[in-house]
Structure 1
């Protein structure tokens, strides 16, 4: 049996390594931190969550729920760690970052089939007959490795810019000005809500849109031949994760229909919705810190302190981490990848995680789960069978490998990616929730059948 080399210790890499090892393969897991860090990571831990601590909705029959249900049925090791380190977050799955990383590290250390190497990989040998490679080096792939990928693919990489939300010390929140609530009373009231009057919102908006932003750095440019090019003049933001100042510039009410949406957040002190609201989500099990939901930004740290303290309840807040922007690099999957995540030109190399064109924590883990299973099949001399198109995992992979090549952008899991119901059934069932329930039911049935027909974890 061939050995499997996984490059990257973020989310996709550890999941891929654990999956492949549990299918009987010998795995080498390479991670360059702490020998070489990135501009966004703060630790050398496996599975460090750089942006938020949320793995999205756990509401039944939603697309994120379906993706996670499929992963749980496939024994996703990182979802096990996430479930075990969950913190209160209403109807979402959010985790204590440190506990989550610790549990992932323990799973890797306990598996005798996995050899961990703390090293920077700068070369890829596509001709090695004894090795299957899974490249899961993430959105901040180092310049030498990015140049190697360019050499192999013969195509220019693409890049967009992703963001990190601020974190506030819970003891510095003025609890007399805020209230606990879940939107529309779904789940438990785990979110702290900072309510705005119209006047407070307008003042906040004026300060936000005139605040000084951070200039783009040379490392944020796309590496070419191993060398970072000059800093970009404009940021190519991912539309699903815009910084708040960019959202605010698109209209005075844009934030009120986005991360500051007040709908469903009844203030118990007034019995009404506020004009706008900022939600704070618990960051860890100790509940001593909270992150500002959807408040990623690209402002200078001093400006962030000034602007964010205009939020009611945060006037004297201590920020444990400020928001940031970082480059996210991904390949042009529609032209380069097969449905089993193999490079078309070099099938012994698989691409997983955000580098493949999926967006989001859960999606990255799911990509690693599939890559680990596909690599295990290849290592044993078999051609892997793609996840069924009707499933959430299959639909996500189908999107990145079949998207319009001229308009390709990374994607989160949504029902738009799944196969729709037959037209006559859609006409018969008008209720969208019922349609989604049927889609989920069909997906899980097909997923179980696919799992039953494939190799079993040891």
Structure 2
């Protein structure tokens, strides 16, 4: 049996390693931290969550729920860790970052088939006859390894800019000005809501428009040395994670229809929705810190302190972390990857996680789960069977490997990616929730059948 080498200790890498080891394979898991860190990570822990602490909705028959439900049925190790580390977040699955990382580390330490190496990998042997390589080094892959990947693919990489939301000290929030509520009363009222009047919102938007952005550091700029290139010049923000100042530039009310949307957030003090609202989500089990949901930005720290303290309830807030911006890198999967996440030109090399073009924590773990199972099949000398197109996991992989080449961007799981219902059935069933329920039911049936056939 061939050995499996997993490169990257973020989310996809540990899931892939644990999946493959649980299927009887010997695995080497390489992580370069702390030998070499990145500009966004703060620790050398496995599965460190750099941005949000949310793994998205747990509402039944939603697209994120479907993806996670499939993963749970396949025994996802990181979702088990997330269940232990869960913190109150309404209808979403959010985790205590430290507890989550500790749980993942313990799982890896307790798996005798996994050998952990703290090293920076700069060379991939694509012609090795006894090793399957799973590259899951993430969006902040080191320059040397990115250059090695470019050597293997012979194709141009794409890059987009991603941002990190601020975190506030819970004890410094003015609780008299805010209220707990979940949107549309879904789940428990675990979110702190900071309500704006029209006058407060207008002043906030004006301050945001005039705030100074932080100057790009060398690592944030698009490389010019050929190590990693981009498909387009300039900043390439991922549409699903725009900095608030970039969103605000698209129109005065854009934030009110985005991260500051007040719909469904009834203020118990007034019985009405506010004009706009900022939601705060619990960061850890101690509930001593909250992150500003959807408030990633690239403003100077002093400007963030000034502007963010204009949010009702945060006038005297202490920020434990300000927003940041970093460059994420991913391959052009439609040109390079098969549906089993293998490089077309080098079948013994696989790409998983955000580097493959999936976007989001849950999606990265899902990609790692599939990669680990596919790698185990290859290690046994078998031909891996891709997850069915009808499933959430299969649809996500189908998108990144079959998307229109010129318009390819990273993707979160959405119903748009799933196989649509027959036209006749769509016309017959007007209720969107019922259509989604049927799609999920079909997806899970296909997933269960695939799990049985794939062993």
Q: TM-score range by the shorter chain?
A: over 0.9
Shift of 1:374: 0.2
| Residue aligning to 2:165 | 165
| Residue aligning to 1:24 | 24
Contact (CA 8 Å) 2:157, 2:228: kept in 1 or not? Answer: no
Contact (CA 8 Å) 1:218, 1:229: kept in 2 or not? Answer: no
Contact (CA 8 Å) 1:204, 1:311: kept in 2 or not? Answer: yes
| Residue aligning to 2:267 | 267
| Residue aligning to 1:343 | 343
| Residue aligning to 1:453 | 453
Matched residue SS, 1:426: helix
| Residue aligning to 2:257 | 257
Shift of 1:222: 4.4
List runs of 5+ in structure 2 lacking aligned partners.
none
| Residue aligning to 1:149 | 149
Shift of 1:378: 0.2
Would you say how many aligned residue pairs link Structure 1 and Structure 2?
Answer: 454
Alignment of 1:217-366 (within 5 A): 217-223=217-223, 227=227, 234-366=234-366
- Measured against aligned partners, the alpha-carbon deviations of 1:58-114 in whole angstroms (never above 9, x if no partner) come to 000000000000000000000000011100000000000000000000000000000
Rounded Cα–Cα distance in structure 1 between residues aligned with 2:239 and 2:49: 20
Shift of 1:425: 1.0
- Measured against aligned partners, the alpha-carbon deviations of 1:113-158 in whole angstroms (never above 9, x if no partner) come to 0000000000110011000000000000000000000000000110
Q: From the superposition, tell whether residues 291 and 392 of structure 1 become closer, same or farther in structure 2 (CA, over 3 Å).
A: same
Rounded Cα–Cα distance in structure 1 between residues aligned with 2:309 and 2:371: 44
Contact (CA 8 Å) 1:334, 1:403: kept in 2 or not? Answer: yes
Matched residue SS, 2:117: strand
Rounded Cα–Cα distance in structure 1 between residues aligned with 2:20 and 2:373: 6
- RMSD, aligned α-carbons: 1.3
Shift of 1:224: 6.4
Rounded Cα–Cα distance in structure 2 between residues aligned with 1:439 and 1:364: 22
Shift of 1:233: 7.9
1:379 aligns with 2:379: yes
Rounded Cα–Cα distance in structure 2 between residues aligned with 1:14 and 1:247: 34
Alignment of 1:170-189 (within 5 A): 170-189=170-189
How high is the TM-score relative to the length of structure 1? 0.98
Rounded Cα–Cα distance in structure 1 between residues aligned with 2:375 and 2:222: 28
Contact (CA 8 Å) 1:146, 1:226: kept in 2 or not? Answer: no
| Residue aligning to 1:416 | 416
Rounded Cα–Cα distance in structure 2 between residues aligned with 1:272 and 1:181: 12
| Residue aligning to 2:401 | 401
Alignment of 1:116-135 (within 5 A): 116-135=116-135
| Residue aligning to 1:139 | 139
Matched residue SS, 1:346: coil
Rounded Cα–Cα distance in structure 1 between residues aligned with 2:33 and 2:204: 39
Shift of 1:217: 2.2
Contact (CA 8 Å) 2:392, 2:413: kept in 1 or not? Answer: yes
Rounded Cα–Cα distance in structure 1 between residues aligned with 2:450 and 2:271: 50
Contact (CA 8 Å) 2:55, 2:93: kept in 1 or not? Answer: yes
Matched residue SS, 2:406: coil
Contact (CA 8 Å) 1:147, 1:224: kept in 2 or not? Answer: no
Contact (CA 8 Å) 1:281, 1:291: kept in 2 or not? Answer: yes
| Residue aligning to 1:8 | 8
- Measured against aligned partners, the alpha-carbon deviations of 1:143-196 in whole angstroms (never above 9, x if no partner) come to 000000000000011000111100000000000000001111111100000001
Matched residue SS, 2:364: helix
Contact (CA 8 Å) 1:89, 1:190: kept in 2 or not? Answer: yes
Rounded Cα–Cα distance in structure 2 between residues aligned with 1:307 and 1:256: 17
Alignment of 1:14-163 (within 5 A): 14-163=14-163
Shift of 1:281: 0.3
Rounded Cα–Cα distance in structure 2 between residues aligned with 1:220 and 1:376: 36
Rounded Cα–Cα distance in structure 1 between residues aligned with 2:394 and 2:2: 26
Shift of 1:402: 0.1
Q: Structure 1 segments of 4 or more deviating over 2 A?
A: 220-230
Shift of 1:209: 1.0
